Homo-oligomer: A and B are copies of this chain.
Amino acid sequence: MGTTQLEAAPEPKYWHLKTVLSEALDSEFAVGEILPNERDLAARFGVARATLRQALEQLELEGRLQRRRGVGTTVAPPRVGVDVSATGHDWPGASGDAWQAVDCVRDAAPAAVADMLETAPDESVHVLRRTRVSHGQPVAAELLYVPAASVPDLTAIDAPSGAARARAVLRELQRLGLDGQDRAVELGSARADDAKELDRLPGAPVLVVTTRYFSEGTTAAVSMATYRADTCRLTFGDTPDVEIHHAPHTQAS
């Protein structure tokens, strides 16, 4: 002891912990396996629970762990590749897209969206809610804003709200010519409503994909889709689900 004490730059404990845990995950745990609880782990490493939690939080952020209140901490499977490419340049709701309509109401769009739609900030638009499921798990929740002007022929026959109404709006959208679209990705934290759809706590990290759909020189619709950042990898090319592993997996049988 004492011979290797050249630590000029003292690494934070939680950072070192994270490294140690990460290596342990690679070599000693299988996907889905549950870890010891936080109090035991903290004791085992000789740190306060808050410090241990700081390390776990980072590992969860990186998609290595999954924590559920009342249940425990489990080793997460590799992130799911979710295709987000603008392949067909299709409208949302085109046949075979990955989304499922949930609801539709009329409401004012948030300022940032009204800005993109070039509508008045208080103008009521159609707000569709859709969800996207992959491998049986919900991966994204979307709010799709459609100005009334984009679906002029929408009949009053359909229900004023609900999933049926949402499908009606999407159907009307298809009648427009789609000139192109435009996409951005940024980090955000889940609002309470999105968190519920995604089976996460409010504030959970999400990747927010904002898409603008152009038709006849104007922005005909805006989609704000929030993907679970812990479980998703957004893919834009033609190779949706290549296995990316962090380390050699334990062999099966």
Contacts and interface: CB of A to CB of B under 8 A. Distances in A.
Interface string A229-253: 1101111111100111111100000
B111 A189 contact: no
B186 A233 contact: yes
A246 B180 CA distance: 25
Contact of A247 (B111, B116, B187, B210): B111
Contact of A242 (B62, B116, B186, B187): B116
A117 interface: no
A188 interface: yes
B239 A182 contact: yes
A181 B237 contact: yes
A165 interface: no
Given A62-B189, A182-B238, A186-B207, 14 more contacts: A15-B203, A18-B203, A61-B189, A81-B184, A86-B236, A111-B246, A112-B244, A116-B242, A182-B236, A183-B236, A185-B185, A187-B229, A205-B205, A236-B236
Contacts of A212: 237, 239
A58 interface: yes
A77 interface: no
Contacts of A237: 180-184, 212
A233 B239 CA distance: 23
Contacts of A15: 202-203
B183 A245 contact: no
B111 A58 contact: no
Interface in A54-111: 58, 61-63, 79, 81, 86, 111
A199 interface: no
